[in-house]
Amino acid sequence: MPRGKRDGILIAGGGTAGCLAALAMARLRPDVPILIVEERDTFGGSRERLLFDVELATDEAELVAPLAARRWPGFYVAFPGFSRKLKGDLMAFGAAALHRAMIETLQPDQYRLGTKVVAVREDALVLDGGETIKAEGAIDARGAANLSMLELLYETRLERDCRMAAPHKVDRPVLVDATGEPVDGLGFTQCIPLAPDRLTVGDVVVAEHSQPDAQAEGRLERYLSKRGWAGAEVEAERMVARPLPYGGDFAAFWRIGGARVAKAGLRGGFLHPVTGRTVADAARTALLLTRQRDFAGPALHDLFEAQARTLWKKREALRGLNGAIASAPVGARGALLARLYALDPGLLARLQADALGLLDRRRVQQALAGR
């Protein structure tokens, strides 16, 4: 690896946002040198991402669709009193697909794996061990960092990848199953098919804390038993949380961790506030980067910050929805989710796609108010 100043851009972090930026640049701007540095031995993070087709514009879909490991024409939701089979093309992809795409697309001198970045400057990465790599500009895509300037709920989950002795017969994702034992607050189970005999089953709670509650494991065990999956082999278990912002000082959030450093992915606050999904934003910012002419650090910072601020402003109504949940008594929060999923499927698709119109917003507010 050459030392001293390089042309082009440096990317710290090879998760969703870093990988999509690197893939887009390698394919669409091969003239611009890139180097992406990831601390793990593989790219892509550790879990599956779900994504609805409606979240992506055509060029974004061209970047993301080849990663899809599985596709479904819709999903299920179930609440006490009603269940729905909703249409909506959705896909899933995992770390393996991202890693494969990276290795196939990038040249070996365009990436470093197993290398920790200890600091990101506007035009440099400082690596564990002291080496500094300089370039025209750098992007920090190392995942969520200091979120203290934002008002957040968390979607916490305890999830297991299970291998069943027999086919589980779940033909499409069950995004919400709230028919199990009641949770004190907004809670449900989610089942995502991985293969005919493999399933990710998660106990999900939306709350102010970022750790699953003490009862999560028991609830998950009992859910597996109730569905006849008690003897399933557990291939992996994870405790994870994703932030769902409903307010805060976004400008201050952006300044944390390097006032002039460009940030992508969760680090830059690029997420759908209600679903917590980040892939569509990551695809959008990756393509934005490919249209850039000036790759100097300050120019990249301004590009990404402007985009993040625009999206934050545009998503006020979505944050309001989280705010309604946050301000509701804990025991009433589950009913709010049920009212949302009882809405017109077209409106639900627009909510997923971050494309709510004025009338949609009014309808959502009415639904939350129980009208």
Ligand X SMILES: Cc1cc2nc3c(=O)[nH]c(=O)nc-3n(C[C@H](O)[C@H](O)[C@H](O)COP(=O)(O)OP(=O)(O)OC[C@H]3O[C@@H](n4cnc5c(N)ncnc54)[C@H](O)[C@@H]3O)c2cc1C
Q: What is the binding site for ligand X (CB under 6 A)?
A: 12-18, 37-40, 45, 47, 49-51, 116-117, 141-143, 157, 240-242, 265-267, 276-279
Contact 317, 362 (CB under 8 A): no
Contact 48, 236 (CB under 8 A): no
Give residue number: closest CB to ligand X.
15
Query: Taking the complex as a whole, how short is the minimal distance between the CB of residue 358 and ligand X, in angstroms?
Result: 26
Contact 132, 126 (CB under 8 A): yes
Token duo for residue 238: 């994870």
Give the nearer residue to ligand X in terms of CB position, either 274 or 368.
274
Query: Taking the complex as a whole, how short is the minimal distance between the CB of residue 183 and ligand X, in angstroms?
Result: 17
Give the nearer residue to ligand X in terms of CB position, either 51 or 106.
51
Query: Taking the complex as a whole, how short is the minimal distance between the CB of residue 166 and ligand X, in angstroms?
Result: 27
Give the nearer residue to ligand X in terms of CB position, either 267 or 315.
267
How many Å apart are CA 238 and CA 135, to the nearest integer?
Answer: 37
Contact 162, 224 (CB under 8 A): yes
274: Cβ contacts below 8 Å, ≥ 6 apart: 244, 318, 321, 322, 351
Task: Give the per-residue SS3 of 322-360.
Answer: HHHHHHCCHHHHHHHHHHHHCCCHHHHHHHHCCCCCHHH
How many Å apart are CA 350 and CA 371, to the nearest integer?
Answer: 20
Give the nearer residue to ligand X in terms of CB position, either 87 or 116.
116
Give the nearer residue to ligand X in terms of CB position, either 266 or 367.
266
Residue-level length of the chain? 371
How many Å apart are CA 60 and CA 43, to the nearest integer?
Answer: 20
Give the nearer residue to ligand X in terms of CB position, either 12 or 164.
12
Query: Taking the complex as a whole, how short is the minimal distance between the CB of residue 113 and ligand X, in angstroms?
Result: 9
Query: Taking the complex as a whole, how short is the minimal distance between the CB of residue 169 and ligand X, in angstroms?
Result: 22
